[in-house]
Structure 1
Amino acid sequence: MFSLARRLLPAAHSVRTFSATALPRNASSSPKADLLEGEQLISKKLIEKFTPSQLQVQDISGGCGSFYSITIASETFKGLPIVKQHKLVTETLKKEIEGIHGLQIKTIAQ
């Protein structure tokens, strides 16, 4: 008998867990050294542009650099609709986005 549950449940895969979060305003403007190259590049650009109070960039494609998850909190987003907040992030990462397949963005206005 064919099982739908088997087809609908995603296969488990390893995801690295770490965070480049809670960057104080006077903190170094360079991303953590333990990030992958793509994560470092994206983090650096976002730090320079938004001076975030919280930033997490994670390669969720297993390390191949094809899909990233970004969580960013910044005063820059205050009063802007989510669509505009995301547009600011994607415009900042325009060059990097050209080479990847997926991007998950969560913005937080502060």
Structure 2
Amino acid sequence: MDHEGLSKILKGLSDPHRIKIVEILSCGERCACEILPHFTFTQPTLSHHMKVLMDCGLVNVRKEGTWSHYSLNEKEWTTLVEMLSLLGSSTGDCICLEENPLGCKKS
């Protein structure tokens, strides 16, 4: 599992505004002008939140002239769901065996 990548994604989602942005984008591609009315902050603040979501790979941007259209990166969302399901799972290879070849004590 890519612990660094997962941590970066979870940090990207660690703000309630960004979670709401993701929820808005789950309805499909949206222009920034369609996202902003859902919040009380300014356009530069929205740009900051969008940059964080793009930097962690969860959101794509498509430029059309001066307009930015945002959408969810479906591949990254699928990977995130898979990583989270493995994180707390008792199936698969135990990380203890990788880091401690002498054995792993599972409860």
Q: TM-score, normalised by structure 1?
A: 0.26
Q: TM-score, normalised by structure 2?
A: 0.27
Q: Which has the larger radius of gyration?
A: 2
Greater per-residue helix proportion: 2
